[in-house]
Chains A and B, each alone.
Chain A
Amino acid sequence: MISATELTKLYGDFTAVRGVSFHAAPGEILGLVGPNGAGKTTTLRCLAGIISPTSGTIAVAGHDMRDDAIAAKRALAFIPDEPHLFDYLSVEEHLRFIARLYGVHDVETRLPAMLDELELSERRRSLPGELSRGMRQKLAIACGLLHDPSALLLDEPLTGLDPAGIRRMRETIVARAERGTAVILSSHLLNLVEELCTKLFVLRQGECVAFGTMDEIIATHPDLAGLSLEDVFLSLTSEGTEGAGA
Chain B
Amino acid sequence: MNALLYLSWTSARNRFVSAFRRVQSPRYAAALLVGGVYIWSLLFRTPNRGAAASFLLGRPSEALITLLMVLTLMGSWVFGADVTALAFTQAEVSMLFAAPLTRRQLVGLKLFRAQIAVLINALIWVFVLRRGGPYLPSPLRALSLWIMFSTLNLHRLGAALVQSAWRQHGGVGVRKNRWSIAIFGAIGVLILSGLAINRDRLIHAGGIGEFFVNLSNTLLESPAAVGLWPFHLIVAPTFAKTIPGWERAILPAMLMLLIHTWWVLRTDAAFEDAAIEASAERARRIEAIRSRRAWGMPSKPRKASSSLRLGTVGPPAVAIVWKNMLCLRRTVQLRLFVGPLAMALAFGAAVSSAGGDTASFIATSSVTFAGILLIFGSRLVRNDLRHDMLHLPLLKALPVSSGDIVLAEVASSALPMAFVQIVLVMIAYVAIVLSSHSPLDSRLRDAILVASPFAALALNGALITIQNGMAVLFPAWMRLGTGVSTGVEALGQNVLAMVAHFATLGLSLLPPMLVGWTVALALHQPRPTTIAVATIVGAVVLAIETFGAIRFLGRALGRVEPLQS
Contacts and interface: CB of A to CB of B under 8 A. Distances in A.
Interface string B194-221: 0000000000000000000000000000
Interface in B306-336: 307, 310-314, 316, 318-319, 322-323, 326-327, 330-331
Contact of A73 (B300, B397, B562): B397
Interface in A89-112: 89-90, 92-93, 96-97, 99-105, 107-108
Nearest to A77: B397
A96 B308 CA distance: 11
A73 to B, nearest CB: 4
A88 B327 contact: yes
A103 B307 contact: no
A78 interface: yes
B290 to A, nearest CB: 14
B439 interface: no
A237 to B, nearest CB: 24
A14 to B, nearest CB: 11
Contacts of B561: 50-52
Q: Kindly state the interface size class of chain A when it binds its partner.
A: 35 or more
A78 B399 CA distance: 12
B559 to A, nearest CB: 8
Contact of A93 (B326, B392, B398, B562): B326
A87 B399 contact: no
Given A50-B393, A96-B310, A97-B310, A102 B399 contact: yes
A70 B400 contact: yes
B167 interface: no
Contacts of B319: 97, 100-101
Contact of B397 (A11, A50, A71, A105): A50
B471 to A, nearest CB: 17
B397 A88 contact: no
Contacts of A108: 312
Contacts of B562: 45, 50-51
Given A51-B563, A88-B327, A101 B307 contact: no
A52 B559 CA distance: 8
A12 B303 CA distance: 43
B316 A101 contact: yes
Nearest to A130: B303
Contacts of B394: 84, 86
B304 interface: yes
Nearest to B319: A100
B304 A100 contact: no
Contacts of A71: 399
Given A49-B397, A50-B562, A129-B301, A100 B326 contact: no
Nearest to A127: B304
A125 interface: yes
A27 interface: no
A51 to B, nearest CB: 5
B401 interface: yes
Contacts of A103: 313, 316
A101 B310 contact: no
Nearest to A147: B399
A86 B330 contact: no
User: Which of B313, B323, B399, B561 has the most chain A CB atoms inside 10 A of its CB?
Assistant: B399
A222 B95 CA distance: 47
B291 to A, nearest CB: 12
B304 A129 contact: no
A59 to B, nearest CB: 15
A174 B311 CA distance: 32
A100 B314 contact: yes
Given A102-B399, A107-B312, A11 B563 contact: yes
B264 to A, nearest CB: 37
B331 A101 contact: no
Contact of A126 (B304, B393, B399, B401): B304
A48 interface: yes
B391 interface: yes
A97 B322 contact: yes
B479 interface: no
User: Which of B311, B331, B561 has the most chain A CB atoms inside 10 A of its CB?
Assistant: B561
Contacts of B312: 96, 99-100, 104-105, 107-108
Interface in B442-467: none
Interface in A64-92: 69-71, 73-74, 78, 80, 84, 86-90, 92
Contacts of B393: 45, 50, 80, 84
A113 to B, nearest CB: 16
B396 interface: yes
Contacts of A105: 312-313
A52 B555 CA distance: 13
B311 A100 contact: yes
Given A100-B311, A100-B312, A86 B323 contact: yes
B397 A127 contact: no
B156 to A, nearest CB: 32
A101 B327 contact: no
Contacts of A80: 393
A102 B393 CA distance: 17
Nearest to B561: A51
A245 to B, nearest CB: 27
A224 B400 CA distance: 46
A73 B392 CA distance: 15
A242 B443 CA distance: 84
A100 B331 contact: no
Contacts of A89: 304, 323, 326-327
A96 B312 CA distance: 8
A129 B20 CA distance: 36
B315 to A, nearest CB: 9
A100 B316 contact: yes
Contacts of B322: 97, 100
B397 A78 contact: yes
A11 B564 CA distance: 10
Interface string A18-52: 00000000000000000000000000010011111
A197 B563 CA distance: 30
B396 A125 contact: no
A73 B307 contact: no
Contacts of B313: 103, 105
A93 B307 CA distance: 8
A100 B320 CA distance: 10
Given A11-B563, A100-B310, A100-B318, A88 B399 contact: no
A89 B396 CA distance: 18
A65 to B, nearest CB: 11
B392 to A, nearest CB: 8
User: Which of B300, B312, B563 has the most chain A CB atoms inside 10 A of its CB?
Assistant: B312
17 contacts: A50-B392, A50-B397, A50-B562, A51-B562, A70-B399, A89-B323, A93-B323, A93-B326, A96-B310, A96-B312, A97-B310, A100-B316, A102-B316, A102-B399, A127-B303, A127-B304, A129-B301
Interface of B: 300-301, 303-305, 307, 310-314, 316, 318-319, 322-323, 326-327, 330-331, 391-394, 396-401, 559, 561-563
